[in-house]
Structure 1
Amino acid sequence: MTDKTDKQYLYAVARIRSKELLLLSKSDIDGLMNCKSEKECLRLLYDKGWGKTGNEDSEQILKAEREKTWDLMRDMVGDLSVFHTFLYQNDFHNLKAAIKQVYVNSDRNDIFLADGTVDPDTIIQAVREHDFSTLPDFMQACAEEAYGVQLETGDSQLSDIIIDKAALDTIYQKGKETKNELLSLYAELKVASADLNIAVRCIKTGKDRSFVERALARCDSLDLDKLTDAIMDGEEALYRYLETTEYADAVQALKTSSSAFERWFDNLIIHRIQPQKYNPFTLSPLAAYILARENEIKTVRILLSGKRNNISDKAIRERLREMYV
């Protein structure tokens, strides 16, 4: 798929403009924060059109909102393959779930994610029959290797690392291949964020170089050799390396906590995609809307969880993401 510069997206972008008016703003988030309980928050969300008839709990409402987003995209563009860069992660999650399910001889359907590029049943059958030729090319090798590791050693962590690395490589390659500015940017930031999270975890758990090299995925904005050397030398070396990259501002967030870093990166993505609102001849405004919706759903989930568990408003606010509008 290449970024198209004709009129085919004009109508869809015009519709997205009207939908953007319904996105939650900072004042909407403040209104939710002023609610005394999760139940009061849910009533406010209902009033704003969130959820569907019969939705009662927060997860049902959030699931309904995600479904609305993808239903809208299907209605506007028909072929969702233009957005597959956002969906590959679900495929690899389902592969991990299928391998674990087969390994422990379980049969649960609630652990699989919808809206991937591959039907979860296809993935489950491939693992059960140990025939990965039915999977897309980008999944076959890692499925074979991860399944073998799980079956022969029972090492779920290593199996997951193999799949996670393949997921990042796929997102990066496919995102760059689109030649779309936003999807390419998303792929870059997605992999960089994952690599830096891996770096912090590896330092804290004392992983060796071979483990680190196996886990990290390549991207243009990070030098993996320098990053790996920094990981081996510890946190301060990691911070010094990051200060030489475009992610220098992330150092303070990393020093604060992993959740602060995740928030920093999510906010960076929102800031970087906002200019795409004004690019009506491509699918970029549609892709930006998807990311904006995911961002607000994540923010609402954090907020509702905080209210449910009686976490202080100050602690909740420290984790909330910035809004697209």
Structure 2
Amino acid sequence: MKQSTYHELNPLVRLKELELLPPELMARMLKAEDLAEVETLLRGTIYGDYLQDDFYESFEEALGQANADLLRELVKLVPDPDVVWIYTMRFTFHNLKALIKAELLDQDFDTLYIYDGFYSIEQIKTAIRTGQASSLPAILLESIQEVREHFEESNSLQGIDIILDRKYLYCQRKVADKIGEPELIKEVIGFIDFTNFLMTARGIKQKRSRNFMSTVLSSHGSVPKEELLTYVEGDLEQLTTYLKTTSYGEIIDPIVENNTIDLSQLERLCDDYLTSYYESAQTQAFGPLPVLALLNAKSIESKNLRLIITGKRVGLTNEQIRERMRETYGS
């Protein structure tokens, strides 16, 4: 990877960061009296060009189109496209889940497709139908084949999500190692660890067996999978005690109450951890992290806008919305 090329790209990234909604504006939206006031504020931003007359019905599409336009621009410019895919891979595997199920159930789930910057809906459908597609990486074709074999043996849709979630984390680590950027590898490992923590906690709540969780958890993080498995058939208090002894102990501590992890806050904590990690990229002139920081910031921005708009629509209080919101740069 030639860092000088990122040196040329990253000034554009800085300009794109200026288009992010400032914390002050998000705070005004949160305090808005109603959706009409939120709409007025949002129409004055870059999202205004994407909104239709029916604000509530069109805002989700507007967020998607704005993010897709950003992806199209970055994919053309970034020296190593895998850097963008490491972030949008979550959309790729979401699309695989939706379109494989559509094929197996003979239904139309096309509206669930999310643009990932790389693989069109037709490319994925072709790969699912034929098992072949020169435009898709081998790992995606392997994932499709494994899901098909599982379904033929069990006729169970549940296994599709389990297989693809595990493949997704494996692919994250594989691509990060291929890129070879130490800080990026560290970020991916952190993401895998937090995902494992969340799945282990959910497994305990759902009383899943050790054998079941062994198929779910990833072995590509820094916290050993086998150690997490020893707590699966215990309780959340035992898991929490263990997690506090790991390198993530201080990060997790704020969401621990009565020595039990607050499961509802764990997913938000993961997003906040990654956001704080990416903040360090704002001072880097070289390497791929500023691109990833921008993509992460756009994703967090979209999540927070959805929370504000949907929360006000269903009558949540400002405090209820605020406690669910993710941290953003400068907040």
Report the TM-score when normalising by structure 2: 0.89
Deviations 1:274-325 (A, max 9, x none): 1111111222212211111111111111111111111111110101111113
Q: How does 1:130-141 map to 2 (within 5 A)?
A: 131-132=131-132, 135-141=136-142
Task: Give the counterpart letter for 2:15 in structure 1.
Answer: S
Question: How has the CA–CA distance of structure 1 residues 64 and 40 changed in structure 2, closer, same or farther, with 3 Å as cutoff?
Answer: farther
Instruction: Give the drift of 1:132.
Output: 4.4
- The CA distance in 2 between the partners of 1:299 and 1:66, in whole Å, is 14
Which deviates the most, 293-302 or 55-64?
55-64
1:111 corresponds to 2:116: no
* Alignment correspondent of 1:231: 232
Partner residue of 2:20 out of 23, 26, 46: 23
3-state SS of the aligned residue for 2:3?
Answer: coil
* Alignment correspondent of 1:10: 7
Partner residue of 2:33 out of 11, 36, 49: 36
1:253 corresponds to 2:250: no
Instruction: Give the drift of 1:188.
Output: 1.4
Q: How does 1:199-278 map to 2 (within 5 A)?
A: 199-248=200-249, 249-253=251-255, 255=260, 257-278=262-283
Deviations 1:153-206 (A, max 9, x none): 221111210111011110112113212244323311221121111101111111
3-state SS of the aligned residue for 1:323?
Answer: coil
Question: How has the CA–CA distance of structure 1 residues 226 and 166 changed in structure 2, closer, same or farther, with 3 Å as cutoff?
Answer: same
**Structure 2, unaligned runs of 5 or more:** none
Tell me the percent identity: 24
Check conservation: 1:89, 1:116, Cα contact below 8 A: no
1:150 corresponds to 2:155: no
Check conservation: 1:188, 1:219, Cα contact below 8 A: yes
Instruction: Give the drift of 1:76.
Output: 3.7
Task: Give the counterpart letter for 1:5 in structure 2.
Answer: Q
- The CA distance in 1 between the partners of 2:186 and 2:39, in whole Å, is 34
1:302 corresponds to 2:307: yes
* Alignment correspondent of 2:165: 164
Instruction: Give the drift of 1:123.
Output: 2.2
Question: How has the CA–CA distance of structure 1 residues 118 and 65 changed in structure 2, closer, same or farther, with 3 Å as cutoff?
Answer: closer
Question: How has the CA–CA distance of structure 1 residues 209 and 133 changed in structure 2, closer, same or farther, with 3 Å as cutoff?
Answer: farther
- The CA distance in 1 between the partners of 2:127 and 2:170, in whole Å, is 21
1:97 corresponds to 2:94: no
3-state SS of the aligned residue for 1:110?
Answer: helix
Check conservation: 1:182, 1:287, Cα contact below 8 A: no
Instruction: Give the drift of 1:127.
Output: 2.2
Q: Number of aligned residue pairs: give it.
A: 321
Deviations 1:114-142 (A, max 9, x none): 1254333222223223x246542112333
Instruction: Give the drift of 1:79.
Output: 6.1
* Alignment correspondent of 1:319: 324
3-state SS of the aligned residue for 1:101?
Answer: helix
Q: Identify which of structures 1 and 2 has the higher relative contact order when contacts are C-alpha pairs closer than 8 Å and 6+ apart.
A: 1
- The CA distance in 2 between the partners of 1:120 and 1:182, in whole Å, is 32
Instruction: Give the drift of 1:35.
Output: 0.8
Question: How has the CA–CA distance of structure 1 residues 120 and 313 changed in structure 2, closer, same or farther, with 3 Å as cutoff?
Answer: same
